[in-house]
Amino acid sequence: MTSMFMTYAATLPVLRDAWGMSATAAGSVSTGFQLGYAVSLVFFSSLADRVGARRVFLGSAWLSAVSALAFALGARSWGTGLVLYTLVALSQGGTYTTAIMLFADRYPPARRGAAVGWLIASSSAGYALSLLVSGAALAWGGYPLAFFASAGGPAAGVVLAWFALRGTPNVVHPRREGARFGTAVLKNGPAMRVILGYTCHSWELLGMWAWTPAFVAAVFAITGAASVRAVELAAYVAAAFHLMGLLASSSMGRLSDRLGRRIVLFGLAATSAGCSLVFGWLIGWPLAVVFAVGGLYGFTALGDSPVLSTALTERVHPSHLGAALAFRSFLGFGAGAIAPLVFGRVLDATNAPGPFPTAWGWAFVALGAGGLGAAYCAWGLRPDRARAPGATPSPTA
């Protein structure tokens, strides 16, 4: 389902020239996508509390397949790209938080971190696939072929989801008497700290995802690679960074089941913040150094995502989990929508016009502020320990 997420980022250096975009305009397409995704997550998550997560997940999956094809057919300029890529985002939000809700119903807390980790890891696999497919298709038939190739993912995903969920019941949790969103979420201190940490995490992660392929393309361009070849190679390298995120998601959730959520969240957030503060200054350094730091960056920036999601399921009652995820998504993806635009603005301010800027340090430093904020929020959580199998924490622990 996520194979469309990185298609725009993978083809961005070519699209800037083909569509005549400044860095700020290029960032606005990513911003439109993230804002659309935030709105989609809020709507579908809230709806899932009322009609059930399974039903919403499958409906959103069908819409995703249709909108992906529409983007591939119609995105041929900055305006059409902005509108249609936002439409893709508006359709896909119901396949993320509802999946977390389905996992929360199926797995006990002692195994939930590992389970959600594999869920996030599957998303990373989709991101990597998006970059690999886009890079190869770009070399063969330009960006239109890259769009069409990536659109095949949601079409295949909806068929697989339909078969996978055939035996899964559609559960609607009854609400506790007198419980409202304000008391269940807004006045729930531990939950709000996790939500704020997720917001800071999203600023850093989504800004990094939007611009890292273009940064790596600039790194290759400095070594003398031709324009399209540099973009193709950058797509492959960025895909490798997402594979590091896959490893992080599949392992860090399980590690947090053993060591506790707080310590794992803090270690990952602090390390990713450090990567943000140095990564952009590495242009012109040996490729091995750029790739090594980029791999660590990809690992740590995404590694806390399943832990944050699991931590929220443990601090909010199931009857309000959809609403809590909706609120978290609104703040997190709202911040993630602004980050690529701010990054592009800083890039414009520190470089001459052109598809391959040479000064990237300050733009990545702007993302590092989010990583530092996520580390602060994690440090403020109550210390926790691994739980015995079957143990169930209080929703406000």
| pLDDT score for 113 | 84
Tell me the residue ranges of DSSP E strands in the chain.
none
The pTM is what?
0.75
What string of DSSP letters covers 190-227? Answer: HHHHHHHHHHHHHHHHHHHHHHHHHHHHHHHHHTT--H
- Give me the mean pLDDT over the 33-49 stretch: 86
Say how many C-beta atoms besides its own lie within 10 A of residue 179's C-beta.
12
Phi then psi dihedrals of residue 222, to 5 deg: -65, -30
Least confident of 85-89, 176-180, 253-257, 298-302: 176-180
Is residue 393's pLDDT more than 60?
A: no
Say how many C-beta atoms besides its own lie within 10 A of residue 390's C-beta.
9
Q: What is the pLDDT of residues 9-27, one digit of tens each?
A: 888 888 988 999 988 898 8
> What is the C-alpha to C-alpha distance for residues 86 and 30, in angstroms, rounded to an integer?
8
| pLDDT score for 159 | 92
Q: What is the pLDDT of residues 138-194, one digit of tens each?
A: 888 899 999 999 999 898 999 999 998 988 899 887 766 656 777 778 888 999 999
> What is the C-alpha to C-alpha distance for residues 92 and 99, in angstroms, rounded to an integer?
12
> What is the C-alpha to C-alpha distance for residues 14 and 138, in angstroms, rounded to an integer?
9
Highest mean pLDDT among 13-17, 273-277, 336-340: 273-277
- Give me the mean pLDDT over the 46-55 stretch: 89
| pLDDT score for 363 | 96
Task: Quote the mean pLDDT of the chain.
Answer: 87
- Give me the mean pLDDT over the 72-83 stretch: 96
% of the chain residues with pLDDT over 70: 94
Q: Which position has the token pair 């769009």?
A: 147
Tell me if 145 sits within 8 A of 10, measured CB to CB: no
Number of H helices, E strands in the chain: 13, 0
Q: Residue type at 175? A: R
> What is the C-alpha to C-alpha distance for residues 130 and 108, in angstroms, rounded to an integer?
32
* DSSP 8-state secondary structure symbol assigned to residue 94: G
Phi then psi dihedrals of residue 174, to 5 deg: -70, 145
> And the tokens for 190?
């531990």
| Sequence-distant (≥ 6) Cβ neighbours of residue 226 within 8 angstroms | none
Question: Could you give the count of Cα atoms lying within 13 Å of 354 in the half-sphere of its Cβ?
Answer: 12
> What is the C-alpha to C-alpha distance for residues 159 and 65, in angstroms, rounded to an integer?
10
> And the tokens for 164?
């996978």
| pLDDT score for 395 | 46
Is residue 125's pLDDT more than 70?
A: yes
Say how many C-beta atoms besides its own lie within 10 A of residue 73's C-beta.
14
> What is the C-alpha to C-alpha distance for residues 55 and 250, in angstroms, rounded to an integer?
26
Q: Assign 3 a pLDDT band (cuts: 50, 70, 90).
A: confident
Tell me if 350 sits within 8 A of 54, measured CB to CB: no
> What is the C-alpha to C-alpha distance for residues 183 and 244, in angstroms, rounded to an integer?
38
> What is the C-alpha to C-alpha distance for residues 331 and 323, in angstroms, rounded to an integer?
13
Coil, strand or helix at 314: coil
| pLDDT score for 389 | 43
% of the chain residues with pLDDT over 90: 46
| pLDDT score for 397 | 40
| pLDDT score for 177 | 60
Instruction: Give the residue with greater pLDDT, 231 vs 387.
Output: 231
> And the tokens for 44?
């579908």
CA atoms 359, 362, 365, 366: torsion sign? negative
| pLDDT score for 304 | 92
Q: What is the pLDDT of residues 282-292, one digit of tens each?
A: 998 999 999 99
